[in-house]
Amino acid sequence: MKKGKKNKNSGVKEELFRSRKAKNGGSSSFDVLYQLSYMSVLAAAGAPRDRVFELSSQLDCGPAEHFKRVELTRSKLGYDYARVCHMVGESTEDMQMKSLLLRFSNSLISGESEATFLTREAEAQAKSFENEYSRKMESLKRWTDAYISLVLSAVLVVIIGSVSSMLWKMEPIVIFALAGICIVTTAGGVGLLYMMTPKELVILNLKEGGSREQKLVKKLAKVLIPVTVILDILILISGANFGLVLILTAALILPIGFVGAADEKKITKRDAEVGPFLRSLGGVCAAMGTTTKDALSRVGLDSVLALKAEVSRLHTRLLTGIRARLCWQKFKEETGSELTNRSVNMFYDAIEVGGDPEQAGYHASLFANRVAMLRATRKTTSDPFRWLCITMHAAVVALLVFIIEVISTFGDLVASAEKNMPNTAGTPAMTSFTSFNFSGLSLIHRFVVPLVLVFTVSDALAPSIVDGGSKYKFLYNLGITAAISGVALIFLPKISGMLFNSLKTS
């Protein structure tokens, strides 16, 4: 009988602790900070241990997966939390969570309260998160400068190759190599920026719902993106100038990106105010000894202008008798902010388990303010870099298109002059006086559009990566860079032609 029970438990253990690489990937510092902050608030509120683990396992973040396994193991095997934390910690491949769970197990075995341990770990993780964020931002400042240098170097390589093709014959493989170096260098710069930027969630990820702007941008994207693709294909089939494709693309996707960028600006303002709002609400609840529904009428909305409309609607719903959890859920959706979502979760769940509202509001606001201030420092780097990228893109594309167009036009004139010269015996050919590589110039001219397209995408993607946040912000930047590239491809060749026509007439 014991043997059968042992085999059954062994089978359960094997099922529970089988390697799950897809789910047990490395947890981000932002998610770990949220997980520990949430658990520490619940524990400090006096929630029972099983309730702390149960609610923590229901969070929508990576580390919650490990606490789901803790809850599942305890319910299946009936072990205490100290032993289960040790078992789950030993089986996970995420080193950060492994260390946390093993420390938690040792703390529970020693008899230390979970509130003391979680508060200490949350404070340590907050300092670690701030230090990591600050280090990445310092490094990011240098990498943004490096990206600008890489793009300028890539353009310089192509321009030098174009001039060199006038002087001596270049094999096609060399021209392909120059274009390849340009593309790889630019893509490498974007990749380096992606690796160095802090990873965090800004926009609330919902399939349905969200703020008013998020609902609108989803509707626009469903309509305008397919229309853009279809119209671009039709223009390409018709053989029109590729610049028209870029201008049309910019005109159609720019409204999507503009709404997305406007939504993020509002979210940034809301994130700066959600901390003071929760702290004030918790203080009023504690001072009056009442619920959040009654306390909301005493909170001055003039101090939270960015959240004024959302808080007013929250108060109205609570007064109509709708369930409080549903009202707060709708409030989080309307803000459209992931930071507000997580801060309100900490505050509301702590109060729901009977915690002190003043302490719940204080700890939730501490979490929100810390993240909001770090994001504000990020803006001091990302905003100037964005406008620098757009300005640089205009200069780079104009320089690339104009120089190659001038060289190609001049080469065509020389070739035409050589062809029209009378073939008189004893007269030296035009090639005796020039060393133009007309085939090389023609090949380089064909690479103009692909290179412009690469710069258009990379110069829109780089500032979007550095700034983080809404994915639709990329469409906003792409609309601007595509419009610049389209204008350059349409008008600069005409300006080049007008230049040589004026030389002919003079």
What does the pLDDT look like over 245-276, one tens digit per residue?
Answer: 999 999 999 999 999 999 999 999 999 999 99
Give CA angle at 403 (169, 421), nearest 5°.
Answer: 55
**Residues of 282-315 as b/e, b for ≥16 C-beta within 10 angstroms?**
bbbbbeeeeebbebbeebeeeebebbeebbeebb
Task: Tell me the CB-side half-sphere exposure of residue 498, using CA atoms within 13 A.
Answer: 6
Which range of residues forms the domain containing residue 108?
A: 2-112
Residue 238 inside a domain? The answer is yes
Residue 13 inside a domain? The answer is yes
- Tens digit of each residue's pLDDT (9 = 90 or more) over 284-339: 888 888 888 888 888 877 778 889 899 999 989 998 888 989 999 999 999 999 99
Separation between Cα atoms, residue 412 and residue 439, nearest integer Å: 11
DSSP 203: B
Say whether pLDDT at 415 is over 80.
no
Residue 9 inside a domain? The answer is yes
Average pLDDT rounded to a whole number, residues 410-426? 60
Residue 94 inside a domain? The answer is yes
Residue 86 inside a domain? The answer is yes
Same domain, 264 and 290: no
Same domain, 293 and 331: yes
- Examine the fold and report which residue of 112, 147, 169 is the final residue of a domain before the chain moves on: 112
**pLDDT level of residue 177 (50, 70, 90 thresholds):** confident
Same domain, 396 and 441: yes
Same domain, 356 and 472: no
Contacts of 83 (CB under 8 A, 6+ apart): 105
Q: Judge whether 455 and 151 are in contact, CB under 8 Å.
A: yes
- In the chain, the percentage of residues whose pLDDT exceeds 70 is 86
Say whether pLDDT at 503 is over 60.
no
- Examine the fold and report which residue of 78, 112, 146 is the final residue of a domain before the chain moves on: 112
Same domain, 392 and 474: yes
| Dihedral over Cα of 130, 131, 132, 137: its sign | positive
Least confident of 301-305, 424-428, 457-461, 498-502: 424-428
Say whether pLDDT at 5 is over 50.
no
Same domain, 235 and 365: no
Residue 421 inside a domain? The answer is no
**pLDDT level of residue 120 (50, 70, 90 thresholds):** very high
pLDDT at 462: 94
Same domain, 262 and 409: yes
Least confident of 358-362, 366-370, 426-430: 426-430
Least confident of 148-162, 224-238, 313-327: 148-162
Same domain, 287 and 352: yes
CA-nearest of 405, 393, 391 to 454 is 393
Separation between Cα atoms, residue 283 and residue 270, nearest integer Å: 20
Backbone angles phi, psi at 203, to 5 degrees: -90, 135
pLDDT at 417: 57
Q: Is 337 helix (H, G, I), strand (E, B) or coil?
A: strand
- Examine the fold and report which residue of 112, 147, 162 is the final residue of a domain before the chain moves on: 112
Same domain, 157 and 16: no
- Tens digit of each residue's pLDDT (9 = 90 or more) over 443-456: 777 888 899 999 99
Residue 14 inside a domain? The answer is yes
Same domain, 335 and 466: no
Average pLDDT rounded to a whole number, residues 82-103? 89
Q: Judge whether 257 and 221 are in contact, CB under 8 Å.
A: no
Return mean pLDDT, the chain. 84
Same domain, 34 and 148: no
Separation between Cα atoms, residue 50 and residue 71, nearest integer Å: 9
Same domain, 146 and 81: no
**pLDDT level of residue 505 (50, 70, 90 thresholds):** low
Give CA angle at 397 (196, 174), nearest 5°.
Answer: 85
Domain count along the chain:
3
Residue 336 inside a domain? The answer is yes
pLDDT at 445: 75
